[in-house]
Structure 1
Amino acid sequence: MNIKDLKYFHQLASHQNFSQVADFFHVSQPTITMAIKRLEEEYGVPLLIRNRSHQALELTSFGRQFDRHVATVLHELNLASKEAQYERQEQVRFGLPPIIGSYYFPSLVPQLLQRHLLTRMKIVEQGSNEVLRQLQHGDVELALLGSLAPLSYQRLVSSTIATMPFGILVSPKNPLAQKRQGVYFKDLAGQSFIGLNERFIHNQAFHQVSRASHLRPQVIYRTADVHVLAALVAENIGIAFLTSLAAHINPDVVFLPLLDEQQPLFYISKVRRRSTVLEGYKQELWNQLG
């Protein structure tokens, strides 16, 4: 079986237009036609229904089923290609969200240095949501991720290594700073928030606690940089919702625990694809993550 034939078919299943697929791959339309014919001959059943009078094209029932298998095959081949590239570089592409990278990962560094593993790591720093996407698509191999519950994905292996609550960052100039024992989220009505963008798990936790408190907080600015967030809070531009992991992010802000009984937790997990073979330094690195 020709891999190109599978690629042609998968693209055709999506666009249902021979000329568009031919243009996409920079080949002639008969090339696409012959590829489909080879697949149909190999499996002995039609993949497409052609309505020449209406110039329409649709997949047969088997064609739709076959396309699901093809999508999986092409995905796995794409992963294998990326993994081969990383193997040649003798490095592990390691996903690390900024907050975990700044406030949890340093505790692991001495052991990683001692075992000569740190130089084997190519750090990819993104928010947890983005790291998860890159892990699923093969752009990273191992990762530490933040989540609001233990991770459960069919194609991933994960293990929770730490949990911690969320809280509120405020400027010492904000009257809330006097409530060092903590605040209830409902008491934050009328406050302006500085938020992290959608690539961070904080966004989901923020919406969750807002709904539970029946509030619609005003977010006046979003950023992908937690240090920018803390700096804006220090200037009393607004307050921020942040995991207690980063409670000491800036000496010019005050961290207030949340007192709500029903509130999300920040889970830190080590994660890899289930298909990843752990041997040698990869196995040792996985073990050292906790």
Structure 2
Amino acid sequence: MRTKDLEYFVSLTQLKSFSKVSEKFHVSQPTISAALKRLEKEFNSHLIVRDNPHLALKLTDAGKKLLVHGQNILSDYHLAQLEIAHGIENNLVIGMPPLIEITYLPQVAQQLPIEMFQQIRHISQGSLATLKDLKRGELDVALLGYLDKFDDPTIKMVTFDQQPFSIIVPKTNPLAKKSGIYFKDVQTQNFISLKNSFVQKQAFKYLSQLNHIRPKVIFETSEVQSVVNMVANDMGIALLTDSITIHDPKLVKIPVLDTNSPLFKVGLAYRKTTIFSESQQKLLDAILDAFQNNTKKWTQN
């Protein structure tokens, strides 16, 4: 069986048109038809209903089964291509959110030999986008933030830190005098927030729902430093994790006192099916050791 035939078939079920599939892959329509016939011959079954050509494309029972398994086959094939390519290059492609990069990576990098550190190719984006790319094989490893519990049967997660959330306010805000704050008390405040792909936004939504309030978000960004700078300029307040060190004297960090406030957990994740090359495994082990060596320090901070 040709994997390209499966690609054509899966795209045909999505686009519902032979002409659109041929345009997508820059091939002729007869090429798509021939691929479908090869699959039908191989599985000894019709895959699409041909009784009424004027109706939208419809799959037979056999076609529905092949679609499910075909998508899995193509996904595994794509993962194999990427894993082999990364292994040949002796690189470890690591994704991480900017917050984790700023907070944790420098201390870990100090403990790695320079030749090992040079093997790392890092991609910076939000935790949700990072997890998505990890599952698709675009990343070998991910440093992820998550709330309370990570539950994905395809991913191995090694947790090395957890931090509570705090409210960051400018010193000019009346809230700055408080030693702690309940989230319901910020319902009239304007918020500067990280975007939906970040775990902090999940925590914001969770605390809002928990307290039955709808605080106003006036600006969203993908940059943690932008959040801090805008709060320092008295444009609003922010919900961030305690792991962020605030150096600006114009800002105050106030612990969130809600009993059910989520914890921001950080861990190193990789697909359970991944087979690392020898050099990749050595680098991964060194990174894990470095993170675990710093766990006590981060927890105490």
Instruction: Name the TM tier (shorter chain).
Output: over 0.9
Specify the SS of the correspondent of 1:139.
coil
Kept in 1, the 8 Å contact 2:128–2:197? The answer is: yes
How far residue 195 of structure 1 moved from its aligned partner, in angstroms, is 0.6
How far residue 52 of structure 1 moved from its aligned partner, in angstroms, is 3.7
How far residue 248 of structure 1 moved from its aligned partner, in angstroms, is 2.3
How far residue 251 of structure 1 moved from its aligned partner, in angstroms, is 4.1
Kept in 1, the 8 Å contact 2:90–2:279? The answer is: no
> Match of 2:230?
232
Indicate the percent of aligned positions where both proteins have the same amino acid. 37
> Match of 1:284?
282
Residues 254 and 56 (structure 1), Cα distance of their counterparts in 2 relative to 1, 3 Å cut:
closer
The whole-number CA distance in structure 1 between the counterparts of 2:47 and 2:222 is 46
The whole-number CA distance in structure 2 between the counterparts of 1:185 and 1:44 is 62
Between 121-130 and 75-84, report the one with greater CA deviation: 75-84
Report the residue type matching 2:44 in the other structure. Answer: G
> Match of 2:296?
none
- Say whether residues 1:263 and 2:265 are aligned partners: no
The whole-number CA distance in structure 2 between the counterparts of 1:91 and 1:249 is 35
Name the count of aligned residue pairs.
288
Between 17-26 and 91-100, report the one with greater CA deviation: 17-26
The whole-number CA distance in structure 2 between the counterparts of 1:245 and 1:51 is 62
- TM-score scaled by length of structure 1: 0.93
How far residue 261 of structure 1 moved from its aligned partner, in angstroms, is 0.6
How far residue 250 of structure 1 moved from its aligned partner, in angstroms, is 3.7
> Match of 1:130?
129
Report the residue type matching 1:20 in the other structure. Answer: K
Which of 210, 221, 233 aligns to 2:208? It is 210
> Match of 1:68?
68
How far residue 55 of structure 1 moved from its aligned partner, in angstroms, is 4.9
Report the residue type matching 2:132 in the other structure. Answer: R
Residues 137 and 104 (structure 1), Cα distance of their counterparts in 2 relative to 1, 3 Å cut:
same
The whole-number CA distance in structure 1 between the counterparts of 2:70 and 2:204 is 39
- Runs of 4 or more, structure 1, over 4 Å off, are none
Kept in 1, the 8 Å contact 2:87–2:277? The answer is: no
Between 14-23 and 228-237, report the one with greater CA deviation: 14-23
How far residue 158 of structure 1 moved from its aligned partner, in angstroms, is 1.1
Specify the SS of the correspondent of 2:168.
strand
The residue correspondences of 1:235-250 to structure 2 (distance < 5 A) are: 235-248=233-246, 250=248
> Match of 2:117?
118
Deviation digits for residues 35-76 of structure 1 (CA, Å, limit 9, x no counterpart): 111111111121111124535431111111111111111112
Residues 150 and 53 (structure 1), Cα distance of their counterparts in 2 relative to 1, 3 Å cut:
closer
Kept in 2, the 8 Å contact 1:227–1:249? The answer is: no
Residues 279 and 80 (structure 1), Cα distance of their counterparts in 2 relative to 1, 3 Å cut:
closer
Deviation digits for residues 231-260 of structure 1 (CA, Å, limit 9, x no counterpart): 111111110000101142644311110111
Residues 122 and 240 (structure 1), Cα distance of their counterparts in 2 relative to 1, 3 Å cut:
same
The residue correspondences of 1:98-109 to structure 2 (distance < 5 A) are: 98-109=98-109
Deviation digits for residues 58-100 of structure 1 (CA, Å, limit 9, x no counterpart): 1111111111111111112222222233233321111121111
How far residue 279 of structure 1 moved from its aligned partner, in angstroms, is 4.1
Residues 250 and 132 (structure 1), Cα distance of their counterparts in 2 relative to 1, 3 Å cut:
farther
How far residue 27 of structure 1 moved from its aligned partner, in angstroms, is 2.1
> Match of 1:54?
54
> Match of 2:299?
none
Gaps of 5+ in 1: none
Gaps of 5+ in 2: 293-301
> Match of 1:140?
139
The whole-number CA distance in structure 1 between the counterparts of 2:36 and 2:266 is 47
> Match of 1:34?
34
Kept in 2, the 8 Å contact 1:104–1:245? The answer is: no
> Match of 2:17?
17
Between 161-170 and 51-60, report the one with greater CA deviation: 51-60
How far residue 268 of structure 1 moved from its aligned partner, in angstroms, is 0.4
Report the residue type matching 1:231 in the other structure. Answer: N
Kept in 2, the 8 Å contact 1:149–1:267? The answer is: yes
The whole-number CA distance in structure 2 between the counterparts of 1:11 and 1:187 is 51
Report the residue type matching 2:213 in the other structure. Answer: L
The whole-number CA distance in structure 1 between the counterparts of 2:282 and 2:158 is 15
Residues 32 and 249 (structure 1), Cα distance of their counterparts in 2 relative to 1, 3 Å cut:
farther
Residues 61 and 212 (structure 1), Cα distance of their counterparts in 2 relative to 1, 3 Å cut:
same
Residues 225 and 253 (structure 1), Cα distance of their counterparts in 2 relative to 1, 3 Å cut:
same
